[in-house]
Amino acid sequence: MAVVKIDTSNPNSPDRAFPLERTRNIGICAHIDAGKTTLTERVLFYTGMIHKIGEVHEGTTVTDWMEQERERGITITSAATTCSWKQRVEKDIVKLYQGIEQRVNIIDTPGHVDFTAEVERSLRVLDGAIAVFCGVAGVQPQSETVWRQANKYGVPRIAFVNKMDRTGANFDNAVNDMRVKLGANAWPILIPIGSEDNLRGQIDVVNQKAVFYDDDSSMGSTYRIDEIPEECRELAQSAYQDLVNQMMDLDEEVGNLFLEEKPVSKEELKKAIRRQTIINRFVPVAGGSAFKNKGVQYLVDAVVDYLPSPIDIEAARGQDPDTGKEKLAETSDHAPFCSLAFKLWSDPFVGKLVFFRVYSGKLSKGDTVYNPRTNKRERISRLIQIQADKRQDIDTCYSGDIAAIVGIRNITTGDTLCNEDHTILLEPPSFPDPVISMSIEPKTKADQEKMGNALQRLAEEDPTFCVFTNEDTGQTIIAGMGELHLEIIRDRMLREFKVDAASGKPQIAYKETTLMPADGEGKLVKQSGGRGQYGHVVVKTAPNERGKGITIENKVVGGAIPKEFIPAVIKGLNEATLNGVVGGYPVIDLHVDIIDGSYHDVDSNELAFKMAAIFALKDAMKKAKAILLEPIMKVEAITPEEYQGDIMGDLNRRRGKIISIETKSISTSVNAEVPLAEMFGYATAIRSLSKGRAAYSMEPSHFEQVPAQVLAAVLDQKS
């Protein structure tokens, strides 16, 4: 039998359908209601994955498949789907990949801030993203949050200015917004021809051609490429020159051509745009309307032309679980297997799904994977690829692929799955802390156990959803990112787990901290015949900078507290921070130095020192002017001008601080910071104030001290 030699210099396995260089892993992310799901639906239609376009307002889209998503017209959970795209071959247009089929894996993410974890974990495993902006509203507050998340993970982006068919749409304003508000080096590559009712097509800036989309029954599938209309020529040439100038400043190869006084060809310009986009120094911008089927095909071309394949980006960095040293997961099918589980989901048809991104190597049915966090092995019995609304069984998935494993146990979001002989621990995505909680109990005693199982399953899937028991009252408390988040959780419990639960009034996740340094002393002395208890701890506390959390340092010298008791002291201090001295809320942003203490040769033990540490910290916090902090939300209210005064007055009554007022073409945007405690029921209030014509969005901003006049009411409510 002939031995087949594998070329390990080529990262691709000979068995894979699409080589790595022809694979794109992209996310579609944006502010709520910017048109992400509508855009995803068009991409799936034009790539031939679906044969009928679904609409959000009709509840027929592929990626919004949950009942709650279809009823409310919003995306709740990120949906992964796979499609293939064949670029057109045009005689006059130079393409990097002419007529070659590309694999595009797409994740459609939610826009609502309550589901920000979905965006966070998706961006962690993606190579590129399409950031969607509304042509009327431009950059909105949640757009900034998503942009920051993409910056955190270094994800290259293409911007798509959507809804150019809407009244008041302005492409130039949206691009300028990106530069000013996001600090993005954003320049147009596809400029809309016309706007509002006159939107006809796009100017392809790089190739200096016009694309006109037909308004016919083929849903935008047919279009023609023509010369740029006379009235748009100056704009097209100016935009082309802007691109060339940008690349001269950013790209070394184009800069050298300029110095050598050589012309920059369209192909060289395109390659330069790709290089600078991949290293996050440039953001190409396209404009169009997904709903009106104008501009989507050329946007997908831009994804292939400018966003990276898995081999265009740095190898995934992790660490050796044993030594802690940095380790790389090379993007190659021939390397040891390494992947990150970024999402867990209970599928009604196939059971527990674990979505994962393969960074190196390949995984086949029957293989065994290793989880370095749990030190456990799991055998893979079934692999699935999600293609639109179908679940397709596959035998093998390769590096760069996004797929799902069925039936794996002992796994949480952010776990690494790898080869046991080549262990590596990848950094998991990070998630914000919950800001709101409520009590929940089943309506019948028989549902108690079912409710516990349902909440455990939902908490496994969603890292921003927490379940715990209040030790004082014995109540089950659920905590999440907002009212809508907890409402959806309750709805899912009823629909998926058949548990009808009653909930208490939502509670705010207050925190405590201190304003000044202080010393604290704690002593536990118990002598009641026989062996006693003795522990003595002295600490010094100081406020930490915001966001730094709790830090503890051991500064005991001379053995005042024996070394074997220091872990017990640290454990006691950590435990004491769970319940502050103002209202019993968790303590944040505090530095504690353990400075002194004493011990007894016979009576000292770990428990005594743990209790003494708790007493010491409580003592210090009482002296250090402990204060209560409340979550402050960033609120944007978009309203017709005639209701602006009423809405601002209402925000002021809610202890809101108006940050800015922007006048758009047909509406006014009021940006404010408002305590979360005052925002309950705001959706109803803003509707009644504006006769249903205003809308708002809200996201967590920071924590601030609770004013003295409000403090007493908060503490009464707690008691």
> Residue 262: what pLDDT?
86
In 3D space, the residue among 343, 330, 309, 311 whose CA is nearest the CA of residue 424 turns out to be: 330
Q: Which CATH number fits domain 516-624: 3.40.50.300, 3.30.230.10, 3.40.50.720, 3.30.390.30?
A: 3.30.230.10
Is 90 exceeded by the pLDDT of residue 433? no
Backbone angles phi, psi at 647, to 5 degrees: -70, -40
Q: Residue written as tokens 């919003």?
A: 74
Q: How does 416-448 read in b/e, with b if 16+ C-beta sit within 10 Å?
A: bbbbeebbbbbebbebeebbbbbbbebeeeebe
Mean pLDDT over 602-628 rounds to 92
Distance from C-alpha of 260 to C-alpha of 253, rounded to nearest angstrom:
11
pLDDT band at 527 (very low <50, low <70, confident <90, very high): confident
> Residue 97: what pLDDT?
39
Q: Write down the mean pLDDT value for the chain.
A: 84
Distance from C-alpha of 347 to C-alpha of 617, rounded to nearest angstrom:
47
Sorted by where each begins, the domain ranges of the chain are: 22-312, 316-426, 440-509, 516-624, 630-718
Check if the beta carbon of residue 627 is closer than 8 Å to that of residue 514: yes
Is 80 exceeded by the pLDDT of residue 489? yes
> Residue 337: what pLDDT?
92
| pLDDT tens string 235-254 | 999 999 999 999 999 988 98
7-11, 197-201, 330-334, 364-368: segment of lowest average pLDDT: 7-11
Q: What is the dihedral of CA 109, 113, 115, 119, to 10 degrees?
A: 40
Per CATH, the number for 22-312 is 3.40.50.300
What's the residue count for the chain? 719
CB atoms within 10 A of CB 167: 11
pLDDT band at 273 (very low <50, low <70, confident <90, very high): very high
Bridge partners (DSSP) of residue 106 are 26, 81
| pLDDT tens string 656-712 | 999 999 887 667 889 999 998 898 878 778 878 887 778 787 878 889 999 988 888
Q: How far is CA 446 from CA 333, 451, 456, in A?
A: 51, 9, 17
Class of the 440-509 domain?
alpha beta
> Residue 131: what pLDDT?
92
> Residue 122: what pLDDT?
80
117-121, 451-455, 475-479, 531-535: segment of lowest average pLDDT: 117-121
pLDDT band at 651 (very low <50, low <70, confident <90, very high): very high
| pLDDT tens string 548-593 | 889 999 998 888 899 999 999 999 999 999 988 998 889 999 999 9
pLDDT band at 5 (very low <50, low <70, confident <90, very high): very low
In 3D space, the residue among 131, 184, 186 whose CA is nearest the CA of residue 161 turns out to be: 131
Check if the beta carbon of residue 234 is closer than 8 Å to that of residue 208: no
Distance from C-alpha of 400 to C-alpha of 140, rounded to nearest angstrom:
32
The model carries a pTM of 0.73
Contacts of 49 (CB under 8 A, 6+ apart): 81, 82, 83, 387, 388
| pLDDT tens string 621-643 | 999 989 999 999 889 888 888 88
Is 80 exceeded by the pLDDT of residue 86? no
Is 70 exceeded by the pLDDT of residue 446? yes
> Residue 156: what pLDDT?
95
Q: Residue written as tokens 């002989």?
A: 421
What is the CATH superfamily name and number for domain 316-426? Translation factors (2.40.30.10)
Q: Where are the alpha helices (DSSP H) in 153-291?
A: 171-181, 233-250, 252-259, 266-278
Is 50 exceeded by the pLDDT of residue 92? no
| pLDDT tens string 103-136 | 888 887 776 666 777 777 788 888 999 999 989 8
Question: Strand 390-394 to strand 326-329: parallel, antiparallel, or no bridges (unpaired)?
Answer: unpaired
> Residue 541: what pLDDT?
95
Is 50 exceeded by the pLDDT of residue 93? no
Task: Say whether 630-718 and 440-509 share the same fold.
Answer: yes
> Residue 76: what pLDDT?
55
Mean pLDDT over 189-204 rounds to 88
> Residue 480: what pLDDT?
84
> Residue 431: what pLDDT?
78
630-718 classified as CATH 3.30.70.240: yes
In 3D space, the residue among 300, 301, 292, 297 whose CA is nearest the CA of residue 135 turns out to be: 292
